[in-house]
Structure 1
Amino acid sequence: MTDSRSRFEALSPAHLEVHLPKAQDLDVGTLLRVGGFEELARAPGRRNLFFDEEANILVVLKTGHNETDVRQNLSSLELILSAHATDAVPQGAGNAASASGKHDLVSKSFSATSFSDVVSIGDNAYVIWKPSLPLPRPRARLQRPAIYFTATLKMDSSKSDGSRRIDKEYLTSYEPLPENILEPFQHDRVLGNSDVYLSETRITKIAPKPLNVESDVKPIRGASKRAYPAVPALFTKLRYSTLPDATIASLHVETSHLIAGTVQITEVDLSVQDLLVEEITSLTLPLQTRGGDETIFLYKITSKGNAASPTTNPQVKVSIKADAALDQGSHIDLNVDLQTDAEIPTHNSHPSYAWSRPLKTSSHHKSLSVQSMGRPTSTDGGSRKADSGAAGVIFTFACPATTQKNEEFKMSVKCLNQSDRQRRFAVVTLQPRKPLTGLQPDNDTESDLIAKIFNAPPLARIKTPDVLDLNPDLRIGPLPAGACFETHLSFRAMTSGLLDFGTLRIIDLDTRQSVDVRELPDVVALEAS
């Protein structure tokens, strides 16, 4: 350790240069032999960068020692390369990161022996590295983001401390568990006393690798001469559409209009936690795109086997690999990795109902049953389905989308008996009663005067119903098992606008059970011309 440390100290004075050349096959050795660092600085470089790209960086070390001594020192050194984002428009002093003007993006360590070439010119030796560094998007929102790079050459801490490090076979005792940073919200009434937990280890900060505090050897540092403007190369967004048995996810990939060149999409992958994903687009990759082009990839998301759908939003991961050939001569590799919660909307399936308890003989004529006022409990699929037993019965209602005020129209009623026995039904229309509570009568009648004596509110008027029922009680059956029956109900539109049919009560005439159907087709009544 003492020999390597003394050799590293002997490298001083040394200097690090960081460049982003436009061409990846730049002959650095020839430029150094022609004019040194000055000639290298005149080489064509990148004007801007793109987020999610693999940036090809050129790092050159200049030292006043011969090539043999430099090669011996490289085995005990490491090169730390870091990318930082800054904002050309400061966001104020409220945010510490914004006030400092520095947002750490990524930091990566390389072995110093991974150099591409060592060039000896006169009394100086030049070590050339050509590492690549991914450029993730900053967590902070920057108005005009720009990226600059820093390089640090230091002693390899893993090797310098190896002689005195004692391997520990067991974990340290009495180490505290990670703290739950959401613990103050566990007793919040809004959360309903739910158990919320987020480990403090999930909140991480990407920062350059810290230097060894015990080592007092000063590292060799360098940085890029300028900050490069950065913009996203690919814009992505996810949209979801629900089907009765699946969910369709559409992945929109748009090439930035700022790219002057061709972007070739080579690989696209979408996965959802604990769900099956099937691509349903027939796009052949690789796919050539230009600036402003938008490509949509469709995926079908279903449950695995008989597994139930997840109650919470599952994690969705998107991976996109592409390479861009810019008109200015640069070739860049793009690797977009996104992870977010899949905000899949719940499917609005056809309503499903359960039969109520047997009713009394006359209870279905004028009033709703207490059991039918609750929310339906059956979860079987179907259109306007009232479930009875394993198979049940399916009722389907259909109406024209529009009609004219004061004109008659018909509602189609289809009944499919999927049960194992013969069924008989009656369908009754229950009109809603809507009192005009805010309207006072023009002339007080005798009943109103009596009501005022006892400090009671005046009798309310009943609002005219939206539709006039023109049907007697509709009877269906006897309907054998597996049979289908179709009929219709007649109505007259009394008002204009969206019509309210009220409630249709379906009564099983054999068991005296009933189902109240409120989810009926939407019909708009237009004013007569």
Structure 2
Amino acid sequence: MAASSEAQARASVEFVESSVLEAVVPSSDIDIEAELGSWDGPTEDGGSILPFLSQRHVLLLDELLAAYIVFRTPSLDDDILKSYLARLLVNVEAFAFSTSPPPEQEPKDVPPKELIHSSTINHTDEPTVVNHGEGDDAYTYVIWKVDIFIARPQGRFHKPGVYFQPTASFKPAERPKKGALEDEYLPSRAPTALNLLQSFETDPALTGIHPRLSAMRISKVTPSAPVAREMARPIRNGQRPVFRVLPALAWRIRYSRTQASLSDLSLMASLDLEVAQFSTYDVRIKNVGLTLHGGNVKALNDEQDAAAVHRPGDQLTYLYKIKPDLAPDGTPSLGSKGHCLTLTIEANVSISAQCRPNVGIEWRTPVDFVSEQAASLMKAAHRSSSSAIQSTNTHNPDALPAHDTQIKPGPEATQDDINITLTVSGPPQVRVGEIFTWDVFIVNRSQKTRRLAILVIAKRKRDFERHQSHPSTSSAGGLRSEKELLTTAVVDENIVYAKQKSARTETSELICLTTDIRLGQLSPGSCYTADLRFLALSAGVLFVESIRVIDLNTNEAVDIRDLPSIVAVESERLQ
């Protein structure tokens, strides 16, 4: 029995030493079993396992690649081969690296290679077994088909390339069941380990005690010779070709805020998709999708034709409207960094008539919906923000603060100072010379009763002409010395009078007929609807400077500048 175990161990060692493992990527979809069966060429050592197979030279980033892991071993009986394959553990790794040295200006701390894929072949995957050759050239080919995703490396590699490194290890034989007479890794009649406490057996103090400490407990155990030879030498790898990698598509997403109501936090997302210019492959884009975690996405463009062929350098633009889910206080439900935008692209690349790989892109990026908006606007548009503290010494609680006395909010301002919702809506077009109204809907979201006032601040035109100083012609001061320091000419009453008389008067384009709106008592959670009346005096797009909301109890104020535009047309042009 011992001789039989030793022969079996020797056979397993020969199986490990005479086998070869290699990864191949065919240039087209072929029946590798049929191709191998019809091949009658010689098997050369040192070359490829399948020299008749034409392989690809270029791979694509984000490609789901179908590769073959080929294991060649001398012909064995089916039962022995099946038992050996059950103990074979095959792992596939893909590495990206630079095929040429980087430029001098780039940093030199880039790692030499980067792991972009790693997977293990499951035992449930049934391989294709093909016997080829006769006599000494008789081999058994075991072929697994695996899907490898060519991920984009994190590092910057100059002219990147990819190579595949399959590895295989021969696992130890399973422990025999109880009652078995032989064990491949524990041969019979093996001496026991040395007793390190054997010298203390003659100690008079240990009469009747036989101390024992096995040397295996404190020293490294070296396995028996068959196991050491079998496990120390891995299965040999065959040829390792290098594939150049190129991106098939390039994309960029830009965001812009639309002119909408204050409570609308939606953004316009523009997706620019470009077929790589340096490639010579045509691309068919099957699907382009955009999803928002914690919100919804609405496509604004027409559906693209999936059968359309795009040449290198073609650019496509997709428009989307993305809107986050809102919390009860009007802020984005997931905060400023919780909303994640996911882009998915499915495309088919025509490298040749027989090679049409598929590309699948999945890219994520966080979206901040509140960073571009001012604090005062966020507070009025369903968001909590800092308030503007009004510094005034007036003793009349009904007196409204002046327009230019508002102070910017400080860091000590709390979020519950005003905390109201203001929604302004108006007609899409108005007639010149006719009165129109804006509807103002106010909701008190704070925890206390408010006394509010709403003012409309018209758009002010500023005279940018600078005053030119003239020699003083005043007769009130008499003669002055040339060496005397004089003040500016603005103190001269003649020039002041002339300046005021010739001042340019600007005509008003829009007049607000509502001086102010005052709310007596607005309890927490209640709402109020008011109207602002306007009169357009000229045609065109007119604007209101801002709407100021003032708390009459604390004199705190907020200016709302994100307001609807007014399109005024002549009477005969109104549709």
TM-score (norm 1): 0.61
1:42-63: CA deviations, max 9, x gaps? Answer: 4322121111112222332222
Q: Which SS does the other structure have where 1:299 is aligned?
A: strand
Say yes or no: does 1:51 pair with 2:61: yes
1:41 to 45, 51, 65: 51
Question: Corresponding residue for 2:289?
Answer: 269
Question: Corresponding residue for 2:247?
Answer: 232
Native 8 Å contact 1:84 1:104 kept in 2: yes
Work out the CA distance in 1 between the residues paired with 2:108 and 2:82.
Answer: 42
Question: Corresponding residue for 2:37?
Answer: 30
AA matched with 1:46:
R
Work out the CA distance in 1 between the residues paired with 2:325 and 2:10.
Answer: 59
Work out the CA distance in 2 between the residues paired with 1:348 and 1:327.
Answer: 50
Q: Shift of residue 321 of structure 1?
A: 2.7
Question: Corresponding residue for 1:7?
Answer: 12
Q: Shift of residue 285 of structure 1?
A: 6.8
1:169-214: CA deviations, max 9, x gaps? Answer: xxxxxxxxxxxxxxxxxxxxxxxxxxxxxxxxxxxxxxxxxxxx99
Say yes or no: does 1:304 pair with 2:325: yes
Q: Which SS does the other structure have where 2:121 is aligned?
A: strand
Native 8 Å contact 2:512 2:534 kept in 1: no
Say yes or no: does 1:20 pair with 2:25: yes
Using a 3 Å threshold, how does the CA distance of structure 1 residues 415 and 483 change in structure 2: closer, same or farther?
same
Work out the CA distance in 2 between the residues paired with 1:214 and 1:34.
Answer: 33
Question: Corresponding residue for 2:169?
Answer: 154
Question: Corresponding residue for 1:252?
Answer: 272
1:143 to 155, 158, 179: 158
Work out the CA distance in 2 between the residues paired with 1:340 and 1:318.
Answer: 9
1:132 to 142, 147, 151: 147
Native 8 Å contact 2:49 2:72 kept in 1: no
Using a 3 Å threshold, how does the CA distance of structure 1 residues 111 and 49 change in structure 2: closer, same or farther?
same
Using a 3 Å threshold, how does the CA distance of structure 1 residues 149 and 515 change in structure 2: closer, same or farther?
closer
Using a 3 Å threshold, how does the CA distance of structure 1 residues 260 and 428 change in structure 2: closer, same or farther?
closer
Native 8 Å contact 1:32 1:40 kept in 2: no
Alignment of 1:388-427 (within 5 A): 416=438, 418=440
Native 8 Å contact 1:261 1:324 kept in 2: yes
Alignment of 1:480-519 (within 5 A): 485-487=533-535
Work out the CA distance in 2 between the residues paired with 1:443 and 1:20.
Answer: 93
1:91 to 87, 98, 102: 102
1:267-286: CA deviations, max 9, x gaps? Answer: 43322222223444442674
Q: Shift of residue 135 of structure 1?
A: 0.5
Work out the CA distance in 1 between the residues paired with 2:166 and 2:549.
Answer: 80
Q: Shift of residue 303 of structure 1?
A: 2.7
Q: Which SS does the other structure have where 1:25 is aligned?
A: coil
AA matched with 1:330:
C
Question: Corresponding residue for 1:115?
Answer: 127
Native 8 Å contact 2:345 2:361 kept in 1: yes
Using a 3 Å threshold, how does the CA distance of structure 1 residues 64 and 117 change in structure 2: closer, same or farther?
closer
1:434-486: CA deviations, max 9, x gaps? Answer: 9989x988679979x99x99x99868899999974567x98647999865633
Work out the CA distance in 1 between the residues paired with 2:561 and 2:473.
Answer: 37
Using a 3 Å threshold, how does the CA distance of structure 1 residues 358 and 433 change in structure 2: closer, same or farther?
farther
Alignment of 1:81-480 (within 5 A): 81-91=92-102, 98=110, 100=112, 102-111=113-122, 114-122=126-134, 123=136, 124-156=139-171, 216-222=231-237, 224-243=239-258, 244=260, 245=264, 246-257=266-277, 258-265=279-286, 267-283=287-303, 286-292=306-312, 293-304=314-325, 306=327, 308-309=331-332, 310-313=334-337, 314-342=339-367, 368=403, 370=405, 372-374=406-408, 416=438, 418=440, 468-469=505-506, 476=514
Aligned CA-pair RMSD: 5.8
Work out the CA distance in 1 between the residues paired with 2:340 and 2:516.
Answer: 51
Using a 3 Å threshold, how does the CA distance of structure 1 residues 278 and 43 change in structure 2: closer, same or farther?
same
Q: Shift of residue 136 of structure 1?
A: 0.5
Q: Which SS does the other structure have where 1:290 is aligned?
A: coil
Task: Report the identity percentage.
Answer: 16
1:120-153: CA deviations, max 9, x gaps? Answer: 4224322223322110011112231111111111
Work out the CA distance in 2 between the residues paired with 1:277 and 1:444.
Answer: 70
AA matched with 1:59:
I
Using a 3 Å threshold, how does the CA distance of structure 1 residues 395 and 218 change in structure 2: closer, same or farther?
same
Q: Shift of residue 76 of structure 1?
A: 0.9
Q: Which SS does the other structure have where 1:330 is aligned?
A: coil
Question: Corresponding residue for 1:182?
Answer: none
Using a 3 Å threshold, how does the CA distance of structure 1 residues 88 and 443 change in structure 2: closer, same or farther?
farther
Question: Corresponding residue for 1:76?
Answer: 87
AA matched with 2:37:
T
Question: Corresponding residue for 1:202?
Answer: none
Work out the CA distance in 2 between the residues paired with 1:427 and 1:242.
Answer: 24
AA matched with 2:74:
G
Work out the CA distance in 2 between the residues paired with 1:339 and 1:214.
Answer: 49
Work out the CA distance in 2 between the residues paired with 1:414 and 1:128.
Answer: 79
Native 8 Å contact 2:440 2:532 kept in 1: no
Work out the CA distance in 1 between the residues paired with 2:245 and 2:503.
Answer: 61
Q: Shift of residue 234 of structure 1?
A: 2.1
Using a 3 Å threshold, how does the CA distance of structure 1 residues 214 and 368 change in structure 2: closer, same or farther?
farther
Work out the CA distance in 1 between the residues paired with 2:456 and 2:25.
Answer: 81
AA matched with 2:321:
K
Q: Shift of residue 118 of structure 1?
A: 3.2
Native 8 Å contact 2:347 2:359 kept in 1: yes
Question: Corresponding residue for 2:214?
Answer: none
Native 8 Å contact 1:428 1:506 kept in 2: no
Using a 3 Å threshold, how does the CA distance of structure 1 residues 347 and 70 change in structure 2: closer, same or farther?
same
Q: Which SS does the other structure have where 1:74 is aligned?
A: helix
TM-score (norm 2): 0.57
Work out the CA distance in 2 between the residues paired with 1:519 and 1:298.
Answer: 23
Figure out how many residues of one structure are paired with residues of the other and give that number. 432
1:87-142: CA deviations, max 9, x gaps? Answer: 23312798677463x23221221146642223242243222233221100111122
Work out the CA distance in 1 between the residues paired with 2:359 and 2:243.
Answer: 17
Q: Shift of residue 231 of structure 1?
A: 0.5
Q: Which SS does the other structure have where 1:132 is aligned?
A: strand
Of residues 87-96 and 343-352 in structure 1, the stretch that sits farther from structure 2 once superposed is 343-352
Native 8 Å contact 1:242 1:345 kept in 2: no
